[in-house]
Amino acid sequence: MADEPGRWIRRYRAAPDAAVQLVCLPHAGGAASYYRPMAMALFPSVEVLAVQYPGRQDRLDEPCFGDFAELTERTLAAVRPALDRPVALFGHSMGSLLAFEMAKRLEAEGVGPLALFASGGRPPDRPVRHSSRTVTDEELISEVAALEGTDRRLLDSEDMRVLFLPALRADYRTMATYRFDGTRLGCPLVSLTGDGDHLVTSDDAAGWAGHTSGGFDLHVFPGGHFYLTDRWDAVAEVVTRRLGAHVPTGTG
């Protein structure tokens, strides 16, 4: 079956006249809907294309991936046909590594992104390694709860656990297969992090600087691993400032 853009991409606020498209890639266990606030904050100057991985929400009946290289190739193959303007990539946590790998491939094709925004993620040479096979459901839920990115009522619901735990475990297995090949990007790279994130230290966030020759910025926000939840407008401002001349002033 072909990877049709309609199955992979959610436009929560379509902006056909926007000068730039921003592809947003979710965290492990996450879904496209996480980026709905980003789409609203950037409208109408930037069109957000939020990626929906298989195995969650309206793609629950599709198998999750278990290999990072395959996830990268399939995501890029699905997204590529929807790109009709200059594009930037934004990824959070696992999504930051996926955005990095997609940016490498786009640059190799001669259509590199305007910028890569790596949020809440360690750089490619020191990725997070989760253990999804040996921990119990309760231990996994406790780990997720500690990140403060998921409503505790959902974590305590047996019905909801059945829906999100398989995708989370699959994403952890996928991350364990990631291998960095040493390639550096040529586009600008922006690292964003929360000052209370216990998964990504300030040194980790700054470490992204060594993975591009195209300029680097670091932005530290108050909050933990999911600092974005309370700071979408501030994050959107970072995006619009970085994209500069490509985004009309006074909008976004």
Q: What is the pLDDT of residue 232?
A: 97
| Catalytic residue list contains 202 | no
SS (H, E, C) 31-78: CHHHHHHHHHHHCCCEEEEEECCCCCHHHCCCCCCCCHHHHHHHHHHH
Task: Note whether 118 and 100 are within 8 A (CB).
Answer: yes
d(CA 172, CA 225): 16
CA 37 from centre of chain: 14
Kindly name the residue from 45, 93, 96, 191 that is annotated as catalytic: 93
Q: pTM score, two decimals?
A: 0.90
Show pLDDT as tens, one digit a residue, over the chain (252 residues): 456 668 999 999 999 999 999 999 999 989 999 999 999 999 999 999 999 999 999 999 999 998 999 999 999 999 999 999 999 999 999 999 999 999 999 999 999 999 999 999 999 998 876 655 556 777 777 776 666 656 556 666 666 666 778 888 889 889 999 999 999 999 999 999 999 998 899 999 999 999 999 999 999 999 999 999 999 999 999 999 999 877 775 544
